[in-house]
Amino acid sequence: MNIEEKIIKIAARSSDIPADDLTAFFSEGIRRTYAPNEWLFHESMPRRWAGIILDGKVELVRGVHGSSRHIATIIAGTLISEGAFLEDHSHSNSAFTRHGATVWQISTEKIAEFRTSQPALFHRIVARIAVSIYRRLRELSNRLYERKDCIQEVGGFRTEQDSLGNREVSDYAYYGVQTIRAMENFSISGIQLRNFSHLIEGLALVKKAAAMANFELGVLEEAKMRAIAAACDDLLAGNLHEHFVVDMFQGGAGTSTNMNANEVIANRGLELMGREKGDYGYLHPNDDVNCSQSTNDAYPTSIKLAVLLANRSLINAMTALKAALDAKAEEFGDVLKMGRTENQDAVPMTLGQEFSAYGVMIESAIKAIERAAYEFLDINMGATAIGTGINSPPGYADLVTQKLSMVSGFALRRARNLIEATQNAGSFCQMSSTLKRAAVQISKICNDLRWLSSGPRCGLNEINLPPMQPGSSIMPGKVNPVIPELVNQVCYQVMGYDAVVSMAAEASELELCMAEPIIAYDLLHGMMILTNACVTLTSRCVNGIEANRDVCRGYVENSIGLVTALVPFLGYDLCAAIAKEALKTGSSVFQLVCDKELLTQEQLYDILSPESMTDPRFIPKK
């Protein structure tokens, strides 16, 4: 074991487990390094290990449906996923590292062995972990109680005015009059902007960068810039998202979303300036937060940033799926089976080759998504209404792009032609079609997993999928391939979204695409459900697949398709005759060849060895 003594001491102090006990237990562990923005585990997925953070920080978040909330930050010397000791089968939170981390991990298999080999030590550790978890829950309860003042009572109101008149707004709300009108006009789906954290983050990044550029160009006071930037930082930290209440389905090309952001940022900024919400004489949603902007450049840029942020999670999930498929390809490299074309016997192959092909499919989909995402680095900030830059100061477009690159971490570029970039939704269409491609490929894999596991007595039964739940309310003992079925349905939805995005992009008329809200919804929701589907498929299906080796081998030996592999040795005509006789008599090709003494059993086994089936083989001329 190579785990630092000081880390063990810190972990011992924080968990109240003796250092010697921790050292003895974690001696069977391994060091695992995680890259920036890499996920350690996902909510509801099975626990695979327990660990100690050696360096870096790990963020715990809750919520996989587009509105994740930060739970806690875990630092070096802290136990993580210790619920694995308590036979807690699923994670209640997700965990990722923003800047990278190293974790010393011990697998659940090793934990089970430890429980058997050293039960006294194991149960000592479990007892202390149970106490530690109890203390953590008590601390969280205390914090929630201490924050009771955050619970607002509805009662006070303020009056806000827009060009259509006055409206009363609850003092609790950080949004304003224009958001209220949008809530009334667009009560359609019940799916609100607050469910899409990445889009809120994209809006916050845009507004922060715009404020910084406007201040530098002398069109925004420093105090206002600082208030806007601080309010945006609040949003980026996950705060106030509940005040983004407009429906994702809306008219106005995203104006309601933009104004919802402007009003929340303005009112939070006013609080930070020591003013009351709605006191817009000191910080105005339009004049200040929206300074040098239009919905027509701020909104599509925010969508692009949201897609780039969501893309990180999607690529990570697909990469994990590829790794799982590759691992199964290696595990099944010696399992001979029949390949099939048009659902008919074809020629022998290995189960490893089959899974290797699946891994390549996912890899090609990943590369295509990365290429599509590259176009999203071109943004139209500074275009304002239609691309002419009206109401923005000279140099703003270049400077705001530079500032937005800095605050977002993406290497953004000013679009070559801002008028074109404001009306052309082609890059959204490209990303959508690329997501559809990935969905098609993932769904094809799920189709195959369902076929290969069909049975168990009256189907192919070449593989076993891990059983997840009873499969019937009337048929005892039935277990369905529920995870591939789920992922199939997710993929169908993503494919359908592509048709909608295509229509919405085509609906762009003259200088603006009015249908960008539905593009935003379909892209972001599609990426979210595809990410979650890949995580689920990996953790709850692929990782637990087992091969039925004898069944696979039996199909090969009894298949008529076997004659194709024998053609180079026996000739086409003789093989055709053997195939015909096998069909007529019900005998196996393997047995007929042996009975006729055309080849010995040893020769047949050599011809059908996985090594011979995997690659082209030199066959001497007769």
Catalytic residues: 472
Token pair, residue 56, equals 């870096």
Which among 494, 493, 491, 500 is positioned nearest to 518, based on CA atoms? 500
One-letter amino acid at 149 equals D
361 and 438 Cβ atoms separated by less than 8 Å: no
Q: Tokens representing 321?
A: 């799926």
The contacts of residue 292 (CB under 8 Å, 6+ apart) are 210, 213, 214, 219, 382, 384, 391, 392, 393, 396, 400
Matching residue, tokens 């030199």:
618
Cα(478)–Cα(516) distance, rounded to whole angstroms?
45
Give the whole-angstrom CA distance, residue 400 versus residue 557: 68
Rounded Cα gap, residues 186 and 423, in angstroms:
24
Amino acid at 615: D
CB 361 within 8 A of CB 387: no
User: What does the block give as tokens for 335?
Assistant: 């399992």
The residues facing 46 across adjacent strands are 90
DSSP helix/strand/coil, 68: coil
Please say whether the beta carbons of 208 and 215 come within 8 A.
Answer: no
Q: H-type helices in 17-149, by residue range?
A: 19-26, 108-117, 119-146
The CA dihedral of 599, 603, 605, 607, to the nearest 10 degrees, is -100
HEC profile of 84-120: HHHCCCECCCEEEECCCEEEEEEEHHHHHHHHHHCHH
3-state DSSP assignment of residue 587: coil
Supply φ then ψ for residue 229, to 5 degrees: -60, -40
Question: Given the DSSP bridges, would you call strands 157-162 and 165-170 parallel, antiparallel or unpaired?
Answer: antiparallel
Cα separation, 109 vs 188, in Å, equals 49
